């Protein structure tokens, strides 16, 4: 649900904003320190990168090319870390910054790109560390080497597990947000969000598409006779029935109250009408049993067609709703499409 849950990108934009401020300030602070130490090339790189960070910070919250700027930010950032670790007179303390690579990579790039960046730059940093700081003391070298390697592997593993769990939890939240709690079908929000991709696919491949609105006939009588628990059970019964007798490629949703919606892709107008009318007849022949009592449930339906009745969901729902009310005026338990509206 990108329209309502563009959480991922916004979250990463805010993380990058913080990092850009830190690197802007840090670039000038470390640049001045390294000028004093006589490391002029490193100082120039750090201060130049600080200016670059400021320029990126000014536009990062509005750019549509977020991933491009993330890559443009991280490549020089990590490369300067490697260079700082390798220059003469640098200290082992720079390796602390190398350990931040997995965290930063996963936070800004996600699981797979974050893993690739982490492996490449952590491996490079560990190799530079070994070439520069290991001594002739073999036992000490083994101890230092193990600490450096294991700390690097641990940081990558922790960042990977965290990001995988975060993605799983986010997917679960999105699924719950788009699911009707009572029936388990998609809800109105999921219908709206999914229609954009479905209609784009239909347009690209020149496919027919229909939108159907169902309304259970005399549903208030079920509530009055059997209580709200009976009404809820009836809704679940109809939801299961519709799910069982519609295609997996179609999008079925509870639209609200006793209304259901169905987006049928690849069905010509005539076929859509026949399929929904056949569904109506099957429901009439499938009684709902509640507290050992047989409850006959029927529905009225209105159908609209992509292209002929509009190309956006609102227009299609308006037309389907108009025909749904025509079906009710005709005595209920019937289906109306554009061929019958007059």
- Residue closest to 122 by CA, chosen among 110, 106, 141: 106
The C-alpha angle 116, 122, 126, rounded to 5 degrees, equals 150
Are 272 and 264 contacting, i.e. CB atoms less than 8 angstroms apart? yes
Active site residue 258: yes
Q: CB burial class (10 A; 0-12, 13-18, 19+) of residue 231?
A: buried
Question: To the nearest 5 percent, what fractions of the chain are helix, strand and coil?
Answer: 65, 10, 25
**Minimal CA–CA distance to 276: which of 228, 197, 189, 214?**
214
Catalytic entry in 163, 258, 322, 329:
258
Assigned token pair, 205: 């491949």
Following CA atoms 122, 128, 129, 131 in sequence, which dihedral angle do they give, to the nearest 10 degrees?
Answer: 140
3-state secondary structure 227-256: HHHHHHHHHHHHHHHHHHHCCCCCEEEEEE
Give the whole-angstrom CA distance, residue 167 versus residue 188.
Answer: 24
CA 152 to chain centre: 30
Active-site positions read 258
């Amino acid at each position: 649900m990108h329209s309502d849950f563009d959480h991922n990108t916004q979250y990463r934009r805010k993380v990058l904003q913080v990092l850009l401020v830190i690197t802007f300030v840090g670039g000038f602070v470390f640049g001045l320190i390294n000028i004093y130490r006589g490391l002029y090339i490193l100082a120039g790189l750090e201060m130049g990168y600080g200016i670059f960070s400021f320029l990126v910070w000014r536009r990062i919250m509005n750019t549509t090319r977020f991933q491009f700027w993330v890559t443009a930010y991280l490549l020089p950032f990590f490369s300067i870390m490697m260079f700082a670790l390798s220059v003469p007179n640098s200290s082992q303390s720079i390796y602390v910054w190398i350990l931040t690579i997995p965290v930063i990579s996963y936070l800004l790039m996600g699981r797979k790109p974050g893993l690739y960046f982490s492996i490449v730059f952590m491996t490079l940093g560990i190799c530079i560390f070994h070439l520069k700081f290991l001594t002739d003391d073999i036992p000490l070298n083994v101890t230092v080497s193990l600490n450096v390697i294991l700390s690097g592997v641990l940081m990558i593993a922790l960042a990977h597990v965290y990001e995988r769990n975060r993605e799983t939890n986010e997917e679960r939240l999105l699924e719950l947000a788009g699911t009707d709690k009572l029936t388990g079908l998609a809800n109105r929000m999921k219908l709206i969000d999914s229609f954009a991709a479905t209609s784009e696919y239909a347009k690209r491949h020149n496919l027919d598409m229909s939108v159907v609105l169902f309304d259970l006939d005399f549903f208030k009588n079920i509530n009055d006779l059997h209580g709200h628990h009976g009404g809820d059970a009836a809704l679940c019964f109809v939801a299961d029935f519709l799910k069982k007798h519609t295609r997996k490629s179609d999008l079925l949703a509870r639209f609200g109250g006793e209304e259901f919606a169905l987006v049928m892709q690849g069905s010509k107008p005539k076929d859509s009408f026949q399929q929904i009318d056949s569904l109506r007849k099957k429901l009439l022949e499938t009684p709902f049993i509640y507290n050992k009592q047989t409850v006959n449930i029927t529905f009225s339906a209105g159908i609209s067609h992509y292209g002929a009745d509009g190309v956006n969901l609102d227009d299609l729902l308006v037309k389907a709703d108009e025909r749904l009310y025509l079906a009710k005026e005709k005595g209920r338990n019937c289906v109306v499409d554009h061929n019958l509206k007059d």
